[in-house]
Amino acid sequence: MLSICIPVYNYDLRPLITELINQARVIDLNIEIIVYDDGSDQSFKNLFAELKTINEVRYYEAAENIGCAATRNQMAVWAKFSNILFIDSDSALPKNYLKKYQPLLKSDILITYGGRVHPIKLPSADKSLRWKVGKKREDFNAEQRRIIPNKSFMSNNFLAKKELFDKVSFNASIKRSGHEDTMFGIELEEKGICINHIDNAVTHIGLESNDEFILKNRNRLETLKLIMSVKQNNKLVKKRIKIIKYYELSKLAGLLPIIRFAYRKTNKAIEKSMHSKSPNLWLFDFYKLGYYSTL
């Protein structure tokens, strides 16, 4: 028995639900699918109306956008079964996806991450930045992720025991999407809970445009700044989050004034360059460090 939780915001997840139901029937797995719409536009809510007629689906709508962290916490509370699988709505499943997770349902492993990959080819030119970041920075197999298991966690595709959320929950103070999964992995590590990794990656198909992804990263950095105002003395946070590690090293070296100056002079040009077919990720790293240093 498995509770499958899918947070959704302005994305048509109906094909994903159909695939999950079909895969579950093949392996005779009893599932419930909890869909939590975190404030989608009315056009998407109209599409989701048909979900209410599917026996396996429990559909909820948030009165207002409460954020990814609070959404996941709430779905964990609603889940009826002891095993909970979280999947992002903009995912395409591999063959035998549920079958690969099935042996873990009877294990005592508290949390397992399955991974994420991106399309083999660039879907469209206006998504080059998100696609390249995904291919170069996120598409790691289980062996690679096991090197630093809790650092390699993302919340897009993981199986957890319901009891885990009695010990650790997502930080609901993080209202916007950004680092809630990073902090979840860190808190698990602080409590001595090691994340298990397997090769059962979903494909991330809902790629943001270059402009959307740049804005999303700026929002993530603003969220991170708020997190660091509380976690400023947390050594593990400084060790696990790359941008913080670089920021602290730059601060020690007295380079922050130079970085801020260079960022203010070049940020528009860098943003423009990020729209190329193959954007320079090191330059994007500098852009993020520069923006963070000005906050």
In terms of domains, do 268 and 184 share one?
no
pLDDT in tens, 16-46: 999 999 999 999 999 999 999 988 899 999 9
In terms of domains, do 169 and 224 share one?
no
Residue 77: give the domain boundaries.
2-207
Q: Which of 45-49, 170-174, 234-238, 258-262 has the lowest mean pLDDT?
A: 170-174
Please list the helix, strand and coil fractions of the chain in percent, rounded to the nearest 5, in that order: 50, 15, 35
Q: What's the number of domains the chain is made of?
A: 2
pTM, full prediction: 0.94
In terms of domains, do 202 and 157 share one?
yes
pLDDT in tens, 88-104: 999 999 999 999 999 99
Of 207, 222, 240, the domain-final residue: 207
8-state DSSP, 107? S
Of 187, 207, 227, the domain-final residue: 207
**What CATH number should be reported for the domain holding residue 11?**
3.90.550.10
Query: What are the residue ranges of helices labelled H in the chain?
Result: 14-26, 42-48, 68-78, 97-101, 128-137, 142-145, 180-190, 210-231, 235-240, 242-252, 256-273, 281-294
In terms of domains, do 274 and 148 share one?
no
Half-sphere exposure of residue 245: CA atoms within 13 angstroms, side-chain side: 7
Name the band, by pLDDT with cuts 50, 70 and 90, for residue 68.
Answer: confident
In terms of domains, do 150 and 240 share one?
no
Share of the chain above pLDDT 70, in %: 99
Classify residue 12 as left (phi > 0), alpha (psi -120 to 50) or beta.
beta
In terms of domains, do 139 and 275 share one?
no
In terms of domains, do 200 and 215 share one?
no
Q: What pLDDT shows up at residue 56?
A: 96
Of 174, 207, 240, the domain-final residue: 207
In terms of domains, do 141 and 276 share one?
no
pLDDT in tens, 115-167: 999 999 999 999 999 999 999 999 999 999 999 999 989 999 999 999 999 99
